[in-house]
Amino acid sequence: MQYVVDRLYDARDTLRESFQPGDGDDAVAPFMVPVDGLLEQAVSFLEENYREKVVAVLKSSGAEKEACPMLDLEKWLNSMYIPETRASNVPPFSLSKERGMWRGVKVERLQSVLQLY
What is the per-residue pLDDT across 98-113, written as a single tens digit (0 to 9) for each?
A: 788 888 888 888 888 8
54-66 residue pLDDT tens: 888 888 777 666 6
Secondary structure, 3-state, 4-39: HHHHHHHCHHHHHHHCCCCCCCCCCCCCEEEHHHHH
CA-wise closest residue to 63 among 41, 83, 85, 34: 34
Please state the pTM of the whole predicted model.
Answer: 0.56
107 falls within a domain: no
Identify any residues that bridge with 67 across adjacent strands, giving them in sequence order: none
Reported as a pLDDT band with limits 50, 70 and 90, residue 29 is very low
Domains of the chain: total: 1
Residue 77 inside a domain? The answer is: yes
Q: Is residue 112 part of a domain?
A: no
Q: Which domain holds residue 23?
A: 2-85
- Measured over the CA atoms of residue 42, residue 73, residue 16 and residue 12, the dihedral's sign is negative
pLDDT at 115 over 50: yes
- Mean residue pLDDT of the chain comes to 77
More confident residue, 111 or 67: 111
Determine contact, residues 12/68, Cβ cutoff 8 Å.
no
